[in-house]
Chain A
Amino acid sequence: MRGHLPAADHGVMDPEPALYTIRINGHLGVTLLSAFPAMAARPDGAHTVLTGPLDRSALYGVLAEIEALGLDLLEVRQLTGEG
Chain B
Amino acid sequence: MAHTTARLIDRGDLLGALDRAAARTVTIISAPAGSGKTSLLRAWADAQGERRRLAVLLVQRDQQDAQQFWLALLNAVRDASAATGRAAPPAATPEFNPPAMVDRVLAELADASPGITLVIDDLHELNSPQALALLTRLLTNLPPGAHAMLTTRHDLRLGLHQLRLAGELAEIRAADLRFTERETRLLLDVSGIALSESGAALLHQRTEGWAAGLRLAAISLAGHPDPERFVAEFSGSDRTVAEYLIAEMLERQPADVQDLLLRTSLLDRVSAELADLLTGRSDSERMLLALADANAFVLPLDPERTWFRYHHLFGDLLRLELRRTLPTEVPALHRRAAGWFIRQGRAVDAIRHTQAAGDWPDAARLLADHSFSLTLDGQAQTMQALERAFPPGEDHPELALVRAGGELVHGHLDEAAAHLSVAETYAATAPPDRQRRLQVAIASLRLSLARRRGHLAGVLEQVRFLDSPLTGQSDEDIALGSDLRAVALMNLGAVEAWTLALPDAERHLRQGAALAREIGRPYLEVGCLSELGFASKIEPFATTQLRCLEAVALAERHGWGAEPVISPALSTMAGTQVWLGEFDQAERWLQRTAQALQTDRGPIMRLVLHHTTAILRACRGRLPEALEEFSAAEQLRSQLEGPHALASQVTGWRLATLARLGRTGEARAALAALSAFDDERAGSGEILNAHAVICLADGDPAGALGAVQPVVDGTAPVIGYVTVMEAHLLAGHAHRELGDQRAANQAVERALTLGEADRLVLPFAMTFSRELLEGLPPHETAHGALLAGILDALQGSSRAPGDQRPSPDAEELSPGELRVLRYLPTNLSRPEIAGELSVSVNTVSTHVRSIYAKLQVTDRSSAVQRARELRLLAAGRAR
CB within 8 Å of B: which A55-83 residues: 67-72
Question: If the complex has contacts A68-B33, A68-B312, A70-B313, are A28 and B243 also in contact, measured as CB distance less than 8 A?
Answer: yes
A29 CB–B CB distance under 8 Å = yes
Name B243's contact: one of A25, A29, A46, A67 (CB within 8 Å): A29
Question: If the complex has contacts A29-B247, A31-B247, are A71 and B240 also in contact, measured as CB distance less than 8 A?
Answer: yes
Residues of A within 8 A of B240 (CB): 24-29, 32, 71-72
Q: Counting chain A CB atoms within 10 Å of each CB, which of B212, B240, B244 scores highest?
A: B240
Bound: A22/B320 CA distance, A: 20
Bound: A32/B243 CA distance, A: 7
CB within 8 Å of B: which A6-38 residues: 24-32, 34-35
Bound: A41/B244 CA distance, A: 18
Bound: A21/B58 CA distance, A: 35
Residues of B within 8 A of A32 (CB): 240, 243, 317, 320
- Bitwise, B171-191 to A at CB < 8 A (1) or not (0) is 000000000000000000000
Bound: A43/B323 CA distance, A: 23
Give the interface residue-count category, chain A.
10 to 19
Closest to B246 in A: A31
Residues of A within 8 A of B154 (CB): 67
Whether A67 pairs with B238 at a CB distance below 8 angstroms is: no
Residues of A within 8 A of B153 (CB): 67
B241 CB–A CB distance under 8 Å = yes
Closest to A25 in B: B240
Residues of A within 8 A of B247 (CB): 29, 31
Name A27's contact: one of B239, B317, B323 (CB within 8 Å): B239
B32 CB–A CB distance under 8 Å = yes
Bound: A29/B242 CA distance, A: 10
Bound: A46/B237 CA distance, A: 9
Question: If the complex has contacts A31-B247, A31-B321, are A69 and B316 also in contact, measured as CB distance less than 8 A?
Answer: yes
Least CB distance from B809 to A in Å reads 46
Least CB distance from B95 to A in Å reads 32
Residues of B within 8 A of A25 (CB): 240
Residues of A within 8 A of B239 (CB): 26-29
Least CB distance from A30 to B in Å reads 6
Least CB distance from A76 to B in Å reads 15
CB within 8 Å of A: which B209-249 residues: 210, 212, 237-244, 247
Whether B242 pairs with A30 at a CB distance below 8 angstroms is: no
Whether B317 pairs with A46 at a CB distance below 8 angstroms is: no
Closest to B312 in A: A68
Question: If the complex has contacts A67-B153, A71-B240, are A30 and B324 also in contact, measured as CB distance less than 8 A?
Answer: yes
Whether A70 pairs with B324 at a CB distance below 8 angstroms is: no
CB within 8 Å of A: which B297-320 residues: 312-313, 316-317, 320
B652 CB–A CB distance under 8 Å = no
Q: How many A-B residue pairs lie within 8 Å, measured between CB atoms?
A: 58
Least CB distance from A68 to B in Å reads 6
Whether A35 pairs with B320 at a CB distance below 8 angstroms is: yes
Bound: A31/B314 CA distance, A: 12
Bound: A81/B323 CA distance, A: 34
B94 CB–A CB distance under 8 Å = no
B34 CB–A CB distance under 8 Å = yes
Name B320's contact: one of A34, A43, A71 (CB within 8 Å): A34
Closest to B242 in A: A70
Q: Counting chain A CB atoms within 10 Å of each CB, which of B32, B241, B242, B321 scores highest?
A: B32
Interface residue tally for chain B (C-beta within 8 Å): 24
Whether B324 pairs with A67 at a CB distance below 8 angstroms is: no
Least CB distance from B76 to A in Å reads 25
Bound: A59/B244 CA distance, A: 26
Residues of B within 8 A of A43 (CB): 238
Residues of B within 8 A of A26 (CB): 238-241
Residues of B within 8 A of A67 (CB): 32-33, 153-154
Residues of A within 8 A of B243 (CB): 28-29, 31-32
Bound: A43/B237 CA distance, A: 13
- Bitwise, B141-156 to A at CB < 8 A (1) or not (0) is 0000000000001100
Least CB distance from B63 to A in Å reads 15
Name B32's contact: one of A28, A30, A70 (CB within 8 Å): A70
Least CB distance from B404 to A in Å reads 28
Least CB distance from B327 to A in Å reads 10
Name A68's contact: one of B237, B316, B323 (CB within 8 Å): B316
Residues of A within 8 A of B241 (CB): 26
Whether B313 pairs with A69 at a CB distance below 8 angstroms is: yes
Question: If the complex has contacts A25-B240, A28-B243, are A70 and B321 also in contact, measured as CB distance less than 8 A?
Answer: no
Whether B34 pairs with A70 at a CB distance below 8 angstroms is: yes
Closest to A24 in B: B240
Bound: A29/B246 CA distance, A: 12
Least CB distance from A34 to B in Å reads 5
Least CB distance from A42 to B in Å reads 13
Residues of A within 8 A of B212 (CB): 70
Least CB distance from A73 to B in Å reads 10
Bound: A69/B314 CA distance, A: 9
Bound: A46/B241 CA distance, A: 12
Residues of A within 8 A of B238 (CB): 26-27, 43, 46
Bound: A82/B241 CA distance, A: 34
Bound: A26/B235 CA distance, A: 12
Closest to B327 in A: A34
Least CB distance from A81 to B in Å reads 29
Residues of A within 8 A of B32 (CB): 67, 70
Residues of B within 8 A of A69 (CB): 33, 242, 313, 316-317
Residues of A within 8 A of B210 (CB): 70
Bound: A72/B206 CA distance, A: 13
Closest to A71 in B: B240
Whether A31 pairs with B33 at a CB distance below 8 angstroms is: no
Residues of B within 8 A of A31 (CB): 243, 247, 317, 320-321, 324
Closest to A69 in B: B316
Closest to A28 in B: B240
Residues of A within 8 A of B323 (CB): 34
Bound: A58/B154 CA distance, A: 19
Q: Counting chain B CB atoms within 10 Å of each CB, which of A26, A31, A35, A72 scores highest?
A: A31
Residues of B within 8 A of A35 (CB): 320
Least CB distance from B630 to A in Å reads 48
Closest to B237 in A: A27
Question: If the complex has contacts A28-B243, A32-B243, are A70 and B320 also in contact, measured as CB distance less than 8 A?
Answer: no
Bound: A26/B237 CA distance, A: 9
Bound: A4/B317 CA distance, A: 26
Residues of B within 8 A of A27 (CB): 237-240
Closest to A1 in B: B32
Least CB distance from A74 to B in Å reads 12
Least CB distance from A69 to B in Å reads 6
Closest to A48 in B: B240
Closest to A68 in B: B316
Residues of B within 8 A of A30 (CB): 324
> What are 20 A-B interface contacts by the 8 Å CB criterion?
A24-B240, A25-B240, A27-B237, A27-B239, A27-B240, A28-B243, A29-B239, A31-B243, A31-B324, A32-B240, A32-B320, A46-B238, A67-B153, A67-B154, A68-B312, A69-B317, A70-B32, A70-B34, A70-B210, A70-B313
Q: A29-B247, A69-B317 are in contact. List 8 more A-B contacts (CB 8 A).
A: A26-B240, A27-B239, A29-B240, A31-B324, A68-B33, A68-B313, A69-B33, A69-B316
Q: For the complex of A and B, list the 10 residue pairs with the smallest distance between their C-beta atoms, beginning with the closest.
A: A26-B240, A70-B33, A27-B238, A70-B34, A29-B243, A34-B324, A31-B320, A31-B321, A32-B243, A27-B239
Binding site for A on B (CB under 8 A): 32-34, 153-154, 210, 212, 237-244, 247, 312-313, 316-317, 320-321, 323-324
